[in-house]
Homo-oligomer: A and B are copies of this chain.
């Protein structure tokens, strides 16, 4: 039922392009969804892509353009004149996409394209949208919406809505405004369908409406839409005047990016990269964590170096270095990941930092004791050094507790000082936990060998 882009299909298309099988190409371009066409164009080389593009009907072609990857779109746009961009692309897409497309153009072309837009209202909407910063509600919103005056009748509403609706693809909500265009509430479509046509809007609209300011951050927009299950969210300026609306599809991307950012940070990747990016971009995104790991490793070597003499006498102390270091890192990552996710989802609840630490102490004690007893059993059975057996178990328990408390405390503190708590799940803390773990291990080792 769903289209899936396969190698076979791409090969078929290429053959049709080469052989000039125009019937097949037009058929396919008519049948496929614009998102799938964009995926195909992203895979083809530029001359194939341009040839195929010519078979797409104009309105759909504009939608395809919006869905292309940035660098492919850039090449397509470079081949068009400013007038063509204005007439064939901008005129056929919604204002938020239009502003995004224009924002990517070189400054000179930008102005040319805007001056070529025929509808002055559309041009001024786009200029308006270009003024908002990226990452704000203003930068996310579109201008297309249906607004009705509180004093209108349902009949007048329907008439006005017909006019406004002609310029829109989808109608998600009808906003009610006063004479100053200030947002008052929502008119649900079913209320309007059910009410007598001479009812006044003021008597039937819903005054409870959630809105955001043009300068609300996109993360907050995403949180609000997610929390209140909103499909569309109106945006107002500082005077409460209705400026635009944000639909959920644009916000789903932000929600996903937020979740992925935390994941990438936890995996030691510092930029938003994809496996299809160039080798040097991937390398650059990954090198910072490796360098921190390297510095951590050097400090680790320094810590162990302090005990060089002990290792010469008791080389078995070295055996469990990886175990202690790894367990410290693991526990630290676990406990901070739980806090970071709780912060991202607002599910941390009302517990104080102290309560959280006590709780983490409980978790660390349970898991620490289980692990320590298991490794003690193993060592008592397979190792002939009582001192080593005791050292590993006591050090393991201590490391699990320290790393757990540390992993809980650091993201909470970072968050308190408005620093991204996800930093705590990344390189920095893992490395510190490694080093702390080694210090504890060798210190306990020296004490144990003195007494056993």
Q: Is A90's CB within 8 Å of the partner chain B?
A: no
Q: Which of A73-81, A115-123, A301-309 contacts B (4 or more CB under 8 A)?
A: A301-309
Flag if B248 contacts A252 (CB, 8 Å).
Answer: yes
Tallying the copies of this chain within the complex gives: 2
Q: Is A449's CB within 8 Å of the partner chain B?
A: no
- Per-position binary interface string of chain A over residues 352-372, scored 1 when its CB falls under 8 Å from any chain B CB and 0 otherwise: 000010010011001100110
Flag if A311 contacts B315 (CB, 8 Å).
Answer: yes
Q: Is A247's CB within 8 Å of the partner chain B?
A: yes
Flag if B348 contacts A210 (CB, 8 Å).
Answer: no
Nearest chain B residue, comparing its CB with the CB of A352: B7
Q: Is A202's CB within 8 Å of the partner chain B?
A: no
List of B residues within 8 angstroms of A273 by Cβ = 338
* Number of A positions contacting B (CB below 8 A): 124
Flag if A325 contacts B325 (CB, 8 Å).
Answer: yes
Flag if B190 contacts A349 (CB, 8 Å).
Answer: no
List of B residues within 8 angstroms of A266 by Cβ = 263, 266-267
List of B residues within 8 angstroms of A35 by Cβ = 227-229
List of B residues within 8 angstroms of A262 by Cβ = 263
Flag if B158 contacts A193 (CB, 8 Å).
Answer: yes
Flag if B367 contacts A290 (CB, 8 Å).
Answer: yes
Flag if B213 contacts A229 (CB, 8 Å).
Answer: no
Given A1-B212, A170-B188, A326-B325: A269 and B304 within 8 A (CB)? no
A sample of 4 more A-B contacts (CB under 8 A), given A275-B338, A282-B363, A321-B322, is A1-B211, A296-B326, A304-B319, A326-B430
| Residue ranges of A at the interface with B (Cβ–Cβ < 8 Å) | 1-2, 5, 7, 10, 33, 35, 43, 158, 161-162, 165-166, 168-172, 188-190, 193-194, 208, 210-213, 220, 224, 226-231, 247-249, 252, 255-256, 259-260, 262-264, 266-269, 273-276, 279-280, 282-283, 286-287, 289-291, 293-294, 296-298, 300-302, 304-305, 308, 311-312, 315-327, 329-331, 333-334, 337-339, 341-342, 345, 347-351, 356, 359, 362-363, 366-367, 370-371, 374-375, 378, 400, 425, 427, 430-431, 434, 438
* Listed A/B pairs (11) with beta-carbon separation below 8 Å: A165-B194, A171-B190, A262-B263, A267-B333, A274-B347, A276-B349, A280-B366, A282-B359, A282-B363, A305-B316, A325-B325
